[in-house]
Amino acid sequence: MAIFGSARDVSMIRHVNRELLNDVISQQCAFYKPRLEETVTNVYGESAGEKYWMGPILLSCLLSRTDQAFPDTDLGIDADQAISFFLLRDDLVDANFVAEVGDVILYQENYYEVDVVISNQYFVGKNPDYPNESNPINPGLVDFGYNVSIICNTHLVPSDKLGISRERFI
């Protein structure tokens, strides 16, 4: 029988993580999700006109960023930066939000497009979604484990390519 990773342990880890993210680190990012059914596309699947976005959804995060790079292109000097956003999975569940490739994250007045979504950080190494009911060696593993976080690897996107702007209300 497993000793660590029960619901009580998971509750403590959840509370510590939320306190760290919200009260100590206190960094936030805003997620925008494309509204594909409203965006008009051309023959190639590219947006032909305006793009429509859902959001923003504000979430607490921890991040790891690389240095900015300014590569030379045929059109002049470009700006590039990669950032990994670390989010608590429980915060996404509470917000009823699923992070997907193609979503856009606003952080410090820059927009970052999600390239990769990673969801494999498990407390005590056990995936709670994996069926462990019929384990004769270690019965009761269904009640153990916790999917801790979601990692979104992103790259910098110029805001004029996205067409995200504030709505004005009269």
CA distance 115 to 99: 11
What pLDDT is attached to residue 31? 94
Q: What is the mean pLDDT of the chain?
A: 81
What pLDDT is attached to residue 151? 94
Q: Angle CA(95)–CA(99)–CA(105) in degrees, nearest 5?
A: 95
What pLDDT is attached to residue 43? 64
| Residue 135 in tokens | 């384990």
The dihedrals phi and psi of 8, each to the nearest 5 degrees, come to -65, -45
Q: What is the DSSP letter of 66?
A: P
**Segments of the chain with pLDDT less than 70:** 1-2, 5, 39-49, 131-136, 138-143, 165-170
pTM of the shown model: 0.80
What pLDDT is attached to residue 103? 92
CA distance 162 to 97: 20
CA distance 90 to 96: 10
What pLDDT is attached to residue 158? 85
